[in-house]
Amino acid sequence: MSKASPSSSLPVPPAPALLECVHTSLLTWYAAERRDLPWRTTSDPYAILVSEIMLQQTQVDRVLPKYQQFLEVFPTLKTLAEASTAEVIAVWVPLGYNMRAVRLQSIAHQVISEHAGRIPDTIEELLTLKGVGRYTAGAIACFAYYKQVATVDTNIRRVLHRIFLGLEHPEPRANDVQMLILAEQALPPGSAYDWNQALMDMGATICTSNSPQCDRCPLQTSCQAYAEMGQYSLFPSGAILRRLRKVAEKKSAYKAQPFTSSNRYFRGRIVDLLRTLPAGQLMVLEELGPKIKTDFSKEELPWLQDIIARLVKDGLLEVTEDGVRLPWQKIT
């Protein structure tokens, strides 16, 4: 098995015999077990773009109904661009991370103004769209235009790492650049679409982060992580991964800020609270603060005002002399 450390400039390409075995096993499994997802029945670049933006930080089950609804209201890039931001966000709710809706509409404006309304088909051009990163660019190029390109999301990263490099804990053995290189090395000729979809399905259903079902995995005999877990137990399981992860967390001196103490958390709380107001009703900051933070004090008012200002800048909030409200609350 080949391994690469974060200090390596390039990962060692997997052996051809190993690649052939992994390709055959995974693609055969995918042909029989692939998930029935609506964005897999279209090659419309706009629909693919919508699905990819929605799937960022959101589970498939939550995206499915909203994806269909969003495309019914905004069936084309043009209809999305011509809508008001408030209308777009109103349809997006309650997916969360509403800034994604703003970013999606911004991409629509840019495509119309700079690309004559046609979403680009190359990674290089796609990366010029504000808010489109390497994964999304690769997904659009592959899934909409059937380009033979690799792309790496959370599931793909985990599956490729475990197969070819081993366990990702106590620390990953490849950084982002190296993982993309590995993904390109592992790409089967002429099968990029099925391969990338298969990796995502494998990571979402079997090779999960905390509880991999190794006993059901078609890649068991080829997987470096499975072999490594066998050193800890005769029956590799998620318990081993969780134990290794806890060891890594204890060794780390850095303690991340709890999400419930983050500004992102309180942004979401503000939007969720204001959504419960009747259309046209506003809420003053002095009343808003204690409702989103039980120990809120007057000294924290500048902090709350800063969050409000950022929400206004993002088009997610409206401020008047009488208080704050969501822009789409005026829509009836």
Distance CA 280, CA 76 (A): 30
Please spell the DSSP secondary structure of 99-123, one letter per residue.
HHHHHHHHHHHHHHHHSTT----SH
Distance CA 21, CA 5 (A): 24
Please report the domains of the chain, with CATH numbers, ordered by start residue.
16-34+150-187+207-251 (1.10.1670.10), 44-143 (1.10.340.30), 259-330 (1.10.10.10)
By the 8 A CB rule, do 195 and 146 touch?
A: no
Residues noted as catalytic: 52
By the 8 A CB rule, do 25 and 195 touch?
A: no
By the 8 A CB rule, do 319 and 326 touch?
A: no
Which residues in the chain come in under a pLDDT of 50?
1-8, 253-255, 332
pTM: 0.75
pLDDT tens digits, 260-274:
678 888 888 888 888
Distance CA 278, CA 167 (A): 51
Angle between helices 285-292 and 301-313 (to 10 degrees): 100
User: φ, ψ for residue 62 (rounded to 5)?
Assistant: -80, -30
Q: How far is CA 96 from CA 63, 89, 100, in A?
A: 11, 10, 9
- What pLDDT is stored for residue 65 in this prediction? 93
User: φ, ψ for residue 318 (rounded to 5)?
Assistant: -130, 135
pLDDT tens digits, 186-233:
999 999 999 999 999 999 999 998 889 998 999 999 999 998 887 765
- What pLDDT is stored for residue 232 in this prediction? 62
